Amino acid sequence: MAGIGETIFNLTEWLRTTPLVDFALWLNAKPMSEWVQSHFYMVPILQMFHILAIAMGFGGVLLFNLRLVGRSGAGTTVAQSAHRYMPWMWGSLVVLLLSGIGMVFGDPVRLLVNPVFWIKMILFVLMLLLSIVHLSTVSRKLRGTANWEPARSAGPAIRISAYTLIILWLCIMAGGRFMAYAPM
């Protein structure tokens, strides 16, 4: 535990030597930042949108991927499950990005000069890339066979990426919470 704390501390020290500090200060002086910061209810409201969007997106990711590995959604095809949940996942990502950007404007220095924020962003990009690969694989299979059922025909790759996506979403959420506790 102390090891992690020390690493985070050292990373913060390093971030402080990068142009990120100037960038955060520059952002902090923008009218958008001043506007978010001068309306005290804006940050809580942005966080409410953020967490509701996580719930809708994660709920979809969970139910779709559990259907894919055969642990949920009995009576539906993979295609029906994708059709039901994937628009919610992509829609939630849009809300997450917009509310997230709003929160960065609300506190640029504390968020950008923060290693946990960047760990979260790296995990977010990984999740995004894996989602694209995962979902395009699924839709390619579905174009071949409309009733494609990975439980019967697919190798372990699709199951591994299904579970990895769920875990990545959880890690990103953890990053979001621990960001607030990173030493300054």
Partner 1 sequence: MLFPALWHAIQYSSFGVFLAESPWAFPTFETIHVFALVTVFGTIAVMDMRMIGLASRGRAMTEVSRDTLTLTWTAFVVAAITGTLLFCSKAGSYMVNPWFLSKMSLMAVAGLNMFIFHFFPWKNVKNFDTARVIPGNVRLAGFISLLLWITIICCGRMIGFTLDKYLPADAPGGADAGPPAS
Per CB under 8 A, residues contacting partner 1 are 1, 5, 43-44, 47-48, 51-52, 54-60, 62-63, 72-76, 80, 84, 170, 173-174, 176-178, 180-181
**Residue closer to partner 1, measured from CB, 45 or 129:** 45
**Residue closer to partner 1, measured from CB, 25 or 122:** 122
Which residue pairs from 66-75 have beta carbons closer than 8 angstroms and sit at least 24 positions apart in sequence? 66/162, 68/138, 68/150, 68/158, 68/159, 68/162, 69/150, 69/151, 69/159, 69/162, 69/163, 70/150, 70/151
**Residue closer to partner 1, measured from CB, 6 or 26:** 6
Nearest approach, Cβ of residue 30 and partner 1 (Å) = 23
Q: What does 104-117 look like in DSSP terms, one character per residue?
A: HHHSHHHHHT-HHH
Nearest approach, Cβ of residue 125 and partner 1 (Å) = 21
**Residue closer to partner 1, measured from CB, 20 or 171:** 171
